[in-house]
Amino acid sequence: MPELPEVETVMRGLATVLEGRRIAHAITTRPDLRWPFPPGLAARLTGAQILGFRRRGKYMLMRLDGGHSVLIHLGMSGRMVARPVTDRANAPIAHEHFALETADGTRVGFVDPRRFGSIDLVPTAAEEAHRLLAGLGPEPLEAAFTAAVLSAALAGRRTPIKAALLDQKIVAGLGNIYVSEALFRAGISPKRLAATVAGARAARLVPAIQAVLAESIAAGGSSLRDYVQADGGIGFFQDRFKVYDRAGEPCDHCPGPPGCDGIRRLVQAGRASFHCPRVQR
C-alpha cells in the first residue's frame, strides 16, 4: 500500500498527535510483525518523550529522548490509527499489533493485517547505519536526486526500467503505483532496458518522479482499499492516476481506438505494470 507519499502523509499525521508528547503506555499484542520486535520494546518506550519524526524512503523514524528512534515500515497493509484512548475499550480494531498511548489521552495503533510491516529500535545517532536504511538510494524529492545521479545508478543494468525503479537501492520510496505513473509522465516504456534510460530520457524521468510524488503528497496520498491517514482522513490522489489500474481505458494523450487500444496491463517481475504503448517508448 504505502509508498513514499502515503508514508509522508502518515508521518505528518503522527507528528501532529505525537510530537512533544510523552508515552504513557506502549502495548504490543504479539511478539513480531515481519521480524521479532526488539526485546522489551513496550517497556523501553514507556515514559519516553517523542521529539520528532523524519522519513527515509518508505520508512518512518520517530525520535525519542534517551537516544533511540523507533523505525517503522508499513509494509503492504500497514496503517496508523489515532483515536481517543477511551474509544479503544469500546471498539478494539482487528490486527492492531502495537500501540502507543499518550498522557493526553490519544492512542495510536499500528494496524497491519498482512503483517509485512516492521518495527525496530535504532540509536538516533546511527540511524543511517541500520541494516534496513544503509543500502537505500537517494531521496527522490531532494536536490541530490538528479538525472546524472539516476543514469549513473542505472548504467549497466540489464533489467527493465520498471524493475529498476522498484529497487530501493536505485531510488528510495517508489512503489508499484508511482513507478507506473512516473514512467507514463516521462513517456518511457516500463519494458525499456534500464541502462538505456540516460540523457534526455533520464532528464525527463527525474522531474516526472518528483512531480507525481509531490502532487500526491499535496493531495494527502492515495487511499486504496481501507487505507486512511492517521487522523482518519483520506487521500485523494488515486483519482488522479493516469495509468495505474486503468487497463483498457484510453490514456490522456491518445484518441482511443482505432488509434490506440488504450492502457495496457503487463506483468513484470511478478507485479502489474500499466502503460500506454503509443505514448511510452
Q: How far is Cα 244 from Cα 5, in angstroms, rounded to an integer? A: 15
> What is the x/- site pattern for DNA, positions 39-68, by CB under 7 A?
------------------xx----------
**Piece of the chain touching DNA by CB under 7 A; list 37-45, 62-70, 161-169, 208-216:** 161-169
Question: Applying CB under 7 A, does 97 fall inside the site for DNA?
Answer: no
Question: Applying CB under 7 A, does 190 fall inside the site for DNA?
Answer: no
Of 75 and 109, the one with the shorter C-beta distance to DNA is 75
Candidate list 29, 30, 34, 87; residue touching DNA; CB under 7 A: 34
Candidate list 22, 44, 115, 204; residue touching DNA; CB under 7 A: 115
- Which residues 215-234 are close enough to bind DNA by CB under 7 A? 222-227
DSSP 32-75: BSSSBPPTTHHHHHTTPBEEEEEEETTEEEEEETTSEEEEEE-T
Candidate list 25, 44, 49, 113; residue touching DNA; CB under 7 A: 113
Q: Amino acid letter at 208? A: A
Q: Residue 1, class by beta-carbon neighbours within 10 Å (0-12 exposed, 13-18 middle, 19+ buried)?
A: buried
Of 48 and 122, the one with the shorter C-beta distance to DNA is 122
C-alpha cell at 162: 520498471
Q: Where are the alpha helices (DSSP H) in the chain?
A: 4-18, 41-45, 85-90, 147-154, 161-166, 176-186, 199-218
Question: Applying CB under 7 A, does 89 fall inside the site for DNA?
Answer: no
Catalytic residues, by residue number, are 2-3, 58, 271
